[in-house]
Structure 1
Amino acid sequence: MVLKSLSDEDRARARAKALQSRTRRAEVKNAFGSGRLGITELLDMTAEDEAVGRLRVADLLESVPGVGEIRAAALMERIGISPNRRLRGLGRKQRAALIQHFTDAPPPTKE
């Protein structure tokens, strides 16, 4: 695959956009880890916020105090989430399982 050669201006714009996205993901992880942002609100943000949608589930889980790489991997395996899955790519059941895990709410019922 041949990459399109970028001008210096295009390259600078791409670097600025990447920095903005990384900063946004760091803010979201910090807010979630500290409890200022709930899992439901965070998952709702994925539809309109590209940077949040591209956040890896493992990185989000590891931002929670007391959850490291091993616990995050175990939780993801129990729920059935691939190790490299991003928030926007979560299925309906995976989202519901994460919400239930973090809110201790009863599982949703089909009506």
Structure 2
Amino acid sequence: MALPTLTPEQRQAALAKAAEARKARGELLASVKSGQTSVAEVFGREDDTAKRVKVVQVLRAVPGYGPAKVAALMTTCGVDDKRRVGGLGEQQRRRLLDSLSG
């Protein structure tokens, strides 16, 4: 399947939209890292910004959780590394939150 040909204006609009989405995801992760937003709040949000961020990124933003700890947590809870917050099932959310709090 060939990609559609975009006009220069359409290309600039798409680039601006992508940059805004990256900025919003970065701000969300920064608020988790600073403690202003909890993982439970991120998992409960219904906006596209929260739904499109990867679970691994959210967990790595939690103070005290590095790559090894996050990988072990994801494996224990049965969540794929490529899963996004919007794609988590209710049981997966609950297991992750229980593991983080306990």
Asked if Structure 1 and Structure 2 have the same fold, meaning a TM-score greater than 0.5 normalized by the shorter chain, the answer is yes
Corresponding residue pairs, total: 102
Letter in 2 for 1:66: G
- Partner residue in 2 for 1:34: 34
Instruction: Choose between structure 1 and 2: higher helix proportion.
Output: 2
Q: Which of 1 and 2 has higher RCO (CA within 8 Å, sep 6+)?
A: 2
Q: In percent, how many aligned pairs have the same letter?
A: 35
> Structure 2 regions of 5+ residues with no counterpart?
none
Give structure 1 stretches of 5+ with no counterpart: 105-111
Residue number in structure 1 paired with 2:59: 61
Name the counterpart of 2:10.
10
Normalised to the residue count of structure 2, the TM-score between the two structures is 0.91
Bigger Cα displacement from structure 2, 63-72 vs 16-25: 63-72
Root-mean-square deviation over aligned CA pairs: 1.3
Q: Counterparts of 1:81-96 in structure 2 under 5 Å?
A: 81-96=79-94
Runs of 4+ displaced beyond 4 Å: none
The alpha-carbon deviation at position 41 of structure 1 amounts to 1.6
Which residue number in structure 1 is paired with residue 74 of structure 2? Answer: 76
The residue number in structure 2 matching 1:109 is: none
* Code of the aligned partner of 1:95: R
